[in-house]
Amino acid sequence: MNETRKQFEEWIKAERPRLFLDYLTTYTPNQYADPATERLWQAWQASRQSQPVVAYLTHHGSAVSPDDFEDGESEMHETAKREEWFPLVKKGDE
């Protein structure tokens, strides 16, 4: 198991201890059986990238940016964490 996945699973265990076993059940070596857990894993990986998060994708499929929040970027990140939104990152120079 790579270090990033290990850290993710430790976080899941701490955040959702009652559901810990369900979250760790996989149906392939690289994908979690629970779709919500798989989305969290994808978000976890994206959050560890060196690229800055400039917006998030909500569960309803809408993209939100700092301009959508009264307190800007900090409120956006706090809400995204609480709501478990998928981070969108700025692409590097091509």
Residue 25, pLDDT score: 64
26 and 10, same structural domain?
A: yes
63 and 40, same structural domain?
A: no
Residue 37 neighbours by CB under 8 Å, 6+ apart: 12, 22, 23
44 and 1, same structural domain?
A: yes
Query: Residue 83 has which token pair?
Result: 């709501």
- Whole domain around residue 76: which residue ranges? 50-94
10 and 42, same structural domain?
A: yes
pTM assigned to the model: 0.46
39 and 57, same structural domain?
A: no
85 and 43, same structural domain?
A: no
**CA-based nearest residue to 79, from 52, 46, 55:** 55
Query: Residue 29 has which token pair?
Result: 């070596």
Average confidence (pLDDT) per 10 residues, the chain, 94 residues: 78 74 66 80 77 86 92 90 85 48
76 and 41, same structural domain?
A: no
38 and 57, same structural domain?
A: no
